[in-house]
């Protein structure tokens, strides 16, 4: 079989990794697919820029048409990021009969359905394993490994930046601002970290996971998102005291025909498998009706881990090419979208409340929770020396989001309550 020609859009960190793997693993690729795999053209912004990976300058171009309209290029690999121009490039590639492999979570979360439809119309493959959790084969696991099962829940750490920050804050008792600055200096966080720390990056990944795992078209706006920028070292210290570890958790749950998807800082019991996932690592915990509980764990980003997923997708495309079955892998969602109402969403909650240090205050607070049928799993009450204030830390048993919202409103109306310092979702029982 003739060599498979690749057009590479982008030569940054991940693109350099793709070049390295295709070059250094050529013997393995030939063994896997039965033919050489060669990169014919690479789209870059500046063909004269110095790069960490050696590339023949004849391969470089700043004109996307050199790739999109080259009839000899079989597969386009997109690692340039962005949405507007990138979407147009990939649509053109698919319409020209080229298969596409992308690592672009933003694009797939917002326009994945349209791109997959076009890919199917033109008999092309569109693979995007690397768009979620870097080097972890989670999408392939859902689509292939768990294809016969019915997924009921997925929860995971899908953003390495926030996991690094929360790990350091928890282990070293440092502030959010201090650890964020260190993460930026080490390259774990961007100069503008908003997408990571406010949960938007994780939300895009959960959109992709929920759409695949539940076979239901989930939109980004369906995901309720809260970031970690307001998490304090005091929150983490109290959590530790009660047997919990905090992580930014992407949560997707299906009950009957209805689903909920969210991203929020969450206290996990220390015996939960996700509680031990440290630093920049990612992990996704999947519950299936037949298989039970499984966990996918590994590096969530980085040049070579992400490039490994991309080249694995490339191998899948080439195998389909040899079998003549390209364009048949995209399965349209099986179920119409049905989202849970707030009264159908249940969780346990951690609350830190500052109150006046007076007799009867705690009884007033407990009566509000009792009114809505919510009891406590854990309680801490600590005096604060200044301003005659006490701090009450509560972990509730499960409550509906509707009742939880009503409780919060009534607490604010209570004269003795000075401030609700923090509130987080809780998963599992403390040890």
Pair (104, 45) in one structural domain? yes
Number of domains observed in the structure of the chain: 3
Q: How far apart are the first and last CA of the chain?
A: 59
205 is catalytic: yes
The reported pLDDT for the residue numbered 430 is: 64
Residue 334 in domain: no
Supply the CATH number for residue 142's domain. 3.30.360.10
- Percent of the chain's residues with pLDDT above 70: 98
Dihedral pair phi/psi, residue 428, rounded to 5°: 90, 165
Least confident of 187-196, 242-251, 280-289, 396-405: 187-196
- Whether 333 maps to a domain, the answer reads no
The answer to whether residues 283 and 176 belong to one domain is yes
Residue 337 lies in a domain: no
* Pairing outcome for strands 151-157 and 244-255: antiparallel
Q: Which of 87, 205, 247, 345 is catalytic?
A: 205
Q: Residue 357's pLDDT is what?
A: 85
CA dist list (Å): 52 to 11, 24, 49, 159:
10, 15, 10, 25
pLDDT at site 431: 58
- Provide the pLDDT for residue 384: 75
Using the 3D structure, point to which of 246, 267, 299 is the last residue of a domain.
299
For residues 163 and 286, membership in a common domain is answered with yes
Place of tokens 């119409």: 336
Distance between CA atoms of 35 and 69, rounded to whole angstroms? Answer: 23
- pLDDT tens digits along 276-300: 999 989 999 999 999 899 999 988 7
Does residue 145 sit in the same domain as residue 90?
Answer: no
Q: What angle do CA 266, 270, 276 make, to 5 degrees?
A: 85
CATH number at residue 395: 3.30.70.260
Whole-model pTM? 0.89
Contact 10, 80 (CB under 8 A): yes
- Is the separation of the CB atoms in 333 and 217 below 8 Å? yes
Q: Is 113 exposed, middle or buried (0-12, 13-18, 19+ CB in 10 A)?
A: middle
The tokens for 104 are 């672009």
| Predicted confidence (pLDDT) per residue in 361-409, tens digit | 999 999 999 999 999 999 988 877 667 789 999 999 999 999 999 999 9
**Percent of the chain having pLDDT more than 90?**
76
Measured CA to CA, the distance from residue 320 to residue 64 in angstroms comes to 26
Q: Is the pLDDT score of 134 beyond 90?
A: no
Contact criterion met (CB below 8 Å) for 155 and 427? yes
pLDDT at 130 (0 to 100): 85
Q: Can you spell out the DSSP letters for 58-102?
A: GGEES-THHHHT-TT--EEEE-S--SHHHHHHHHHHHHTT-EEEE
Return d(Cα 31, Cα 214) in angstroms, integer: 35
Question: Domain limits at 421?
Answer: 342-427
Q: What is the pLDDT of residues 67-115, one digit of tens each?
A: 999 999 999 999 999 998 999 999 999 999 999 999 999 999 999 989 9
Bridge-partner residues for 339, per DSSP? Answer: 259
Average pLDDT over residues 130-141: 82
Give CA 309 to chain center in angstroms. Answer: 15
**What pLDDT does residue 385 have?**
66
Residues 173 and 280 grouped into a single domain: yes
Residue 214 lies in a domain: yes
Residue with tokens 């990138």, as numbered in its chain: 86
For residue 99, how many other CB atoms are within 10 A of its CB?
A: 29
Q: How confident is the model at residue 1 (pLDDT cuts 50, 70, 90)?
A: low
- Mark whether 292 and 182 lie in a shared domain: yes
Of the pLDDT bands very low, low, confident and very high (cuts 50, 70, 90), residue 242 is: very high
184 and 258 together in one domain: yes
pLDDT of residue 88: 97
Based on the fold, state whether residues 262 and 400 are members of the same structural domain: no
Considering the domain architecture, whether residues 10 and 127 belong to the same structural domain is answered as yes
What is the DSSP secondary structure assignment for residue 282, as one 8-state letter?
A: E
Q: Give a yes or no: residue 114 inside a domain.
A: yes
With cut-offs at 50, 70 and 90, classify the pLDDT of residue 349: very high
Greater pLDDT, 427 or 144: 427
Nearest to 250 by CA among 148, 160, 331: 160
3-state secondary structure of 362: helix
State which of 323, 355, 386 marks the end of a domain: 323
Instruction: Give the model's confidence band at 331: pLDDT under 50 very low, under 70 low, under 90 confident, else very high.
Output: low
pLDDT tens sequence across 28-74:
999 999 999 999 999 999 998 888 888 999 999 999 999 999 999 99
Query: Residue 135: pLDDT band by 50, 70, 90 thresholds?
Result: confident
**Dihedral class, residue 308 (left if φ above 0, else alpha if ψ from -120 to 50, else beta):** alpha
Based on the domain organization, do 347 and 311 belong to the same domain?
no
Kindly report which listed range (1-5, 19-23, 90-94, 418-422) carries the lowest average pLDDT score: 1-5
- Dump pLDDT digits (tens) for 352-365: 999 998 888 999 99
Query: Among 116-125, 135-144, 167-176, 254-263, where is mean pLDDT lowest?
Result: 135-144
**Same domain, yes or no: 228 and 153:** yes
Q: What is the CATH number of the domain that holds 90?
A: 3.40.50.720
Q: Tell me whether residue 42 is in a domain.
A: yes
Q: Are 268 and 245 in contact (CB under 8 A)?
A: yes
145: confidence class by pLDDT, cuts 50, 70, 90: confident
329 belongs to a structural domain: no
Q: Please check whether residue 330 lies inside any domain of the structure.
A: no
Q: Are 145 and 292 members of one domain?
A: yes
């Amino acid at each position: 079989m003739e060599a498979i020609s690749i057009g590479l859009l982008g030569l940054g960190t991940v693109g350099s990794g793709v070049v390295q793997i295709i070059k250094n693993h050529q013997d393995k690729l030939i063994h896997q697919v039965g033919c050489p795999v060669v990169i014919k053209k690479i789209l870059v912004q500046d063909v004269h820029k110095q790069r960490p990976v050696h590339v023949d300058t004849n391969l470089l171009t700043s004109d996307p048409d050199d790739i999109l309209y080259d009839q000899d290029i079989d597969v386009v690999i997109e690692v340039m990021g962005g949405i507007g121009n990138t979407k147009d490039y990939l649509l053109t590639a698919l319409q020209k009969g080229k298969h596409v492999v992308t690592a672009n979570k933003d694009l797939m979360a917002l326009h994945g359905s349209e791109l997959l439809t076009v890919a199917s119309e033109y008999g092309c493959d569109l693979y995007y394993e690397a768009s979620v959790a870097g080097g972890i084969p989670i999408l392939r696991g859902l689509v292939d490994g768990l294809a016969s099962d019915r997924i009921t829940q997925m929860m995971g750490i899908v953003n390495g930046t926030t996991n690094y920050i929360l790990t350091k804050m928890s282990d070293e008792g440092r502030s959010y601002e201090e650890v964020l600055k260190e993460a930026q200096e080490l390259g774990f966080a961007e100069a503008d970290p908003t997408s990571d720390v406010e949960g938007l990056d994780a939300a895009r990944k959960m959109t992709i996971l929920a759409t695949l795992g539940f076979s239901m078209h989930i939109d980004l706006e369906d995901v309720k998102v809260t970031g970690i920028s307001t998490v304090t070292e005091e929150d983490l210290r109290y959590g530790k005291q009660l047997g919990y570890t905090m992580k930014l958790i992407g949560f997707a749950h299906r009950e009957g025909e209805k689903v909920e998807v969210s991203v929020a800082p969450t206290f996990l019991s220390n015996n939960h498998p996700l509680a031990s996932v440290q630093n920049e690592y990612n992990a996704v915990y999947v519950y299936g009706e037949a298989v039970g509980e499984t966990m996918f764990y590994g590096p969530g980003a980085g040049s070579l881990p992400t490039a490994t997923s991309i080249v694995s997708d490339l191998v899948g495309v080439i195998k389909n090419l040899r079998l003549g079955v390209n364009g048949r892998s995209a399965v349209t969602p099986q179920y119409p979208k049905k989202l849970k109402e707030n009264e159908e969403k249940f969780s346990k909650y951690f609350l830190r409340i500052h109150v006046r240090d007076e007799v009867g205050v705690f009884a007033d607070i407990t009566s509000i929770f009792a009114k809505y049928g919510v009891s406590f799993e854990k309680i801490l009450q600590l005096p604060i020396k200044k301003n005659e204030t006490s701090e009450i830390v509560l972990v509730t048993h499960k409550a509906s989001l509707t009742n939880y919202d009503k409780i919060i409103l009534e607490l604010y109306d209570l004269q003795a309550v000075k401030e609700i310092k923090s509130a987080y979702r809780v998963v599992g029982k403390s040890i």
